[in-house]
Structure 1
Amino acid sequence: MTEEHLPTERWKQRLQNYSVVLQHLNEAVEAYDEKSPNIIKEGVLQRFEFTHELAWKVLKDYLEYEGHQNITGSRTATRLAFNLGLIQDGQIWIDMIESRNKTVHAYDASILETEFSKVRESYNACFIQLKEKLSTL
């Protein structure tokens, strides 16, 4: 394999990993019902964290493959991806960054409940849209 093929392989491999993690998140979201114990919610939030991490990294890898430079973090990747039409709702993606930061460091049940609702109501759909978009490239 030549060096010029490495960036392609990297973003496509990351997309495959993202797809697997997204499937796990979908399974957890679908398995939840109002009678589920709190540990299910905690599992959904942890899967959200993993999925978000891979989402922005696959965006970063793809954007670098396309020649974009200086992508220093999830906010930079998110803004550029929105500007290029890779993601549809830039504000929800920015909200995801905030939610991820909250869930990683929060132990307050009300914060976790709020973030859990966001994952179920909007974030998961955005993750699916990203997978569908990148799978066509």
Structure 2
Amino acid sequence: MKDYAIHQGNSTVGGSIDATREVFQLKLITDGHVWMEMIGSRNQTSHTYNKTTVDEIFQKILNDYYPALLSFQANIEAKRRGEQGDILIW
């Protein structure tokens, strides 16, 4: 995400939140709230050993995050092939 944002001319993208916001504005993702939850879950899992929390996040991965990642993958691959605008060469 960050690399794509930089390729599009935004060299100020810092971390995952900035990158997520940028690709949302570039319409590579449509479900920004899911991506923000994903970032929160990533941060939460690095500091938790609570089985209930782990189980909840696991369900989010299966039901929300994985489909969002697949959608992003399809969109970025379409960009790379040039199907949605300018041809992208990395």
Smaller-chain TM-score bracket: 0.7 to 0.9
Find the aligned partners of 1:124 and 1:97 in 2 and give their Cα distance: 13
Q: Say yes or no: does 1:109 pair with 2:48.
A: no
Question: Per-residue deviation at 1:84?
Answer: 1.2
Aligned to 1:98, the other structure's residue is in SS state helix
- The number of aligned residues is 79
Q: Which amino acid aligns with 1:97?
A: I
Identical residues among aligned pairs (%): 34
Find the aligned partners of 1:80 and 1:66 in 2 and give their Cα distance: 10
Which has more radius of gyration? 1
Q: Which amino acid aligns with 1:87?
A: I
Question: Per-residue deviation at 1:104?
Answer: 1.5
Equivalent of residue 97 in structure 1, options 39, 43, 48: 39
Gap regions ≥5 residues in structure 2:
80-90
Gap regions ≥5 residues in structure 1:
1-58
Structure with the higher fraction of residues in helix conformation: 1
Aligned to 2:85: none
After superposition, give the CA deviation of every residue in 1:94-135 in whole Å (9 maximum; x if it has no partner).
Answer: 000000011111101011011001001110000000100000
Find the aligned partners of 2:30 and 2:67 in 1 and give their Cα distance: 11
Find the aligned partners of 1:105 and 1:132 in 2 and give their Cα distance: 31
Question: How large is the Cα RMSD of the aligned pairs?
Answer: 0.7
Question: Normalising by the residue count of structure 1, what TM-score does the alignment of the two structures yield?
Answer: 0.56
Q: Say yes or no: does 1:61 pair with 2:3.
A: yes
Q: Which amino acid aligns with 1:69?
A: S
Q: Which amino acid aligns with 2:25?
A: N
Q: Which amino acid aligns with 1:130?
A: F
Question: Normalising by the residue count of structure 2, what TM-score does the alignment of the two structures yield?
Answer: 0.85
Question: Per-residue deviation at 1:83?
Answer: 1.2
Aligned to 2:14: 72
Find the aligned partners of 1:61 and 1:79 in 2 and give their Cα distance: 13
